[in-house]
Chains A and B, each alone.
Chain A
Amino acid sequence: MTDTVQRDAWLVIPLYNEGPVIGTVVEEARRTFPHIVCVDDGSSDDSADRAEAAGAVVVRHPINLGQGAALQTGIDYVVHQTAGEFLVTFDADGQHRVEDAAAMVGKARQEDLAAVFGSRFLDGRTDTGWLKRQVLRVAVTMTNWSSGMKLTDAHNGLRVIRRDLAERLDLTQNRMAHASEIVEQIGDSGLPWAEYPVHVLYTDYSRSKGQSVFNSVNILTELLFK
């Protein structure tokens, strides 16, 4: 575990029906990131209460709006209601490693970067399935094409965004296409960015939600018809 406490960074966690794991995820992350905001996107389970009990600030959408909308709400919260210098987007299902997030903030600080994207494909640690890998490859190609950037992984939920950049973001894609929308807006900002190799843990829990294939279909259609 990392021993560095990130006091000027806020973890932004979009939260939707992750009751079984969110408590643990928040508790573990808080050892490194004392400031966490969970944006509960109208969960029908007790996700929000568990996140709050674990010590996160919880912003509650009155209705389900989608992950992109939740992210933008979290960004607005950090920009307007805190003095945090960095925000880190983090998935609620525990697939990201807190060490990676902390190292990414360190990299942004050290190299004066406005954005650091986590990438599963900079090294061989993350074991994505074949189909998912192909879909992500298509997604990243299309995102690079529309944003003029050169990323290796466009749909990774782990990103570090500095305050000045966060202030400029305005995500309007409420569902999955927000991932490429973020990349496009960061590209348009002209601010410096980098990628950082991260390890994504596909746990039994995240697999049991069975989203990978359906999500892939959704990502592709939303990219095509946004």
Chain B
Amino acid sequence: MWIQVLLVVGLVAFAFIDLRNGGGGARHQALRRIGLVAFIGLGIFSILFPEWLGWVAGLVGVGRGADLVFYALVVAFLFYVATNHRRFVALDRKLTILARQLALTEAKLHDRHQDDAPAGIDPLPQDTQVNPPDGEPARSAVTRASR
């Protein structure tokens, strides 16, 4: 049947793409590849011998093989969502650190530039860089707060 050819070609193409773009650690990657090869093998087997899938479905109490595939798909999708979410959070974290570093570096360059400028342009530049704790206002703030 044509559908069998199409599905097998599709699965093999997917495996080919996925095996080439593996990420993560060596161990994780190896496990992923083993799992994928097993999955592809099972997939092709089920496409060529659909009765087998029906038999497995009956074994676990599911009516049809197609239903079993559907349920497996739902679980696989949830797994995908979970791993993708984790990856997204990690990426977000990296992006935040990168953007923060960029912003702070830019601010530092800006400050330095102001320090180099002739005095009197900005009333605050020296203070902006280093402002040693000032005794006088500190004490008056204490008396203020103690009222």
Contact = CB atoms under 8 A, between A and B. Distances in A.
Contact of B142 (A39, A80, A83, A106): A106
Interface stretch (A16-24, A54-62, A212-220): A54-62
For chain B, which range describes its interface: under 10, 10 to 19, 20 to 34, or 35 or more residues? 20 to 34
Interface in B54-92: 92
Interface string A39-67: 10000000000000001011111110100
Contacts of A8: 131-134, 137-138
B102 to A, nearest CB: 6
Contacts of B132: 8, 83
B107 A59 contact: yes
A102 B104 CA distance: 26
Contact of B127 (A34, A110, A172): A34
Given A59-B106, A60-B103, A77-B107, A83 B138 contact: no
Q: Which 3 A-B pairs have the closest CB atoms?
A: A106-B145, A106-B141, A7-B134
Given A61-B100, A81-B107, A110-B146, 17 more contacts: A2-B144, A4-B141, A5-B137, A6-B137, A6-B141, A39-B103, A61-B103, A65-B96, A73-B100, A77-B107, A82-B130, A83-B133, A103-B144, A106-B142, A172-B93, A174-B92, A174-B96
11 contacts: A6-B141, A7-B127, A7-B137, A55-B124, A61-B99, A62-B99, A81-B108, A82-B130, A83-B130, A102-B144, A172-B93
